Structure formats: structure tokens, C-alpha cells
Structure 1
Amino acid sequence: MTRTEPIVIPPVVVDALRNVMRQLVGDRDRLLDADADADADADARPQASGTSIPILLSAVQAGEVLGINETTVRQLWRDGDLKCVHIGRGRKVSTTEIQRYINDHEHFSPVP
């Protein structure tokens, strides 16, 4: 199944998604830095923030980030528009792939 018309995402939504992705990537980088510091110093213990940011997201989580239904995420997986990682019988999508999808599908139309 091929699409003939591009998906048009409003600039406000794109900006909001970019902010979410920056937050996800920033939190992940801080967690990775804390782990690296802990490995360098055996006595150092990273502080648990109470929340961890997943690098792989389920269809439900990806749908929430993209503002679409999980069924649509699964359809994007089936069509090959959104790449997924197979883990056991389940599928997940990386935050990097979500950002790629957004970048590839953002179109800004001039307002008449």
C-alpha cells in the first residue's frame, strides 16, 4: 500500500513533538552519563529520579508521543513507514525512529 499524498503535520504539533523528543533524549543522556560516572567510580551511585525514560516505546507510547492511535502506529509498522524492533512476539519503536519519521514527514504549507 503506497500513499500518494504526504501527511501534513501542523507546525505547532511538530514543535511540541520536537520538545518532547529533546526532553526524552536529554533525560536519556543524563541517565547514560550517570551510569558512566558510576562505572568510573565504584563508590559513586547514580541518583534515582523516580522516572526512567524508555529508549524503546510500545505502540501505545509511540501513539501518545505522535498524537495518533496505537492502531495507526501498528499500520505504519505494517506499511514499513515506521521501523520497529521485534522483541520476542512484541514490537517496539525507538525514540530515534520516531524523530526520523517526524523529520521525514513534516511539511509546512503557507497559510492562505
Structure 2
Amino acid sequence: MIRNQVRVIVAILFIGAGSVAYFAASYVATPKFIVKNESDVNVEVTAYWKQQSKNLGSILAGGEQMFELNDEAAMEFRVAYPDGQVITSSPAIYFTSGTTVIAVVTESAIKVNAEF
């Protein structure tokens, strides 16, 4: 009888600890950024935050690029099209631990959303 109660208590504690670890992980995870090119042309993309930048290079039409960045700031994306047109996302989007930022490039715009 007591053994069964101990087993139940241990199982509850184990499940509780696992749940805490699962939910806490999203708050300490390194921010992730995904840039999707949904336009019909290859584009050059650069990410800007604070006084820093990251050149993602050329993203093929229909392709995507993912990167992680261990920081907390607001980020904007600058896209250069082959015809010389340059578009910058606005407003800059805030990111912190556990955030996934998704930037979608189309023929004439950049749509940026954050998932916390």
C-alpha cells in the first residue's frame, strides 16, 4: 500500500519536473530567425539589429534561410532585388529568448512576425 503511494508520488513529481523543464526551455532558447523568399526571383537579404548586421546572402526564389542569434533587440530586414529595388521591413521587430521570427519576402514587401 505504501509502496503504491510512493510510486504515485514519484510519478507525479517526475511528470511535474518534466513539464516545468519543457515550458522553461522555450524561455531560455536562443532566438531563431527564418527568412522565406516567396518571390519569383533570387534576393539578397541582410538582417540589422543594434549596431550589428548579418548578411544572409542570396536566397533562391522559393527558398529559405535560418539562423540563430543569442541576443535581445529589435531587428529589421533589408532585401535587395535583382532590378535594384531595396526594401526594408518596418517597424523593426523585437526578439528575445525563445522567440522565432519569420520574415516572408514577396515581390514587393517583407512581412515579419514573431512567435513567442
TM-score surpassing 0.5? no
Q: What is the TM-score with the length of structure 1 in the denominator?
A: 0.27
Q: What is the TM-score with the length of structure 2 in the denominator?
A: 0.26
The structure with the largest alpha-carbon Rg is 2
Q: RCO (CA 8 Å, sep 6+): is it higher in 1 or 2?
A: 1
Q: Structure 1 or 2: larger helix share?
A: 1
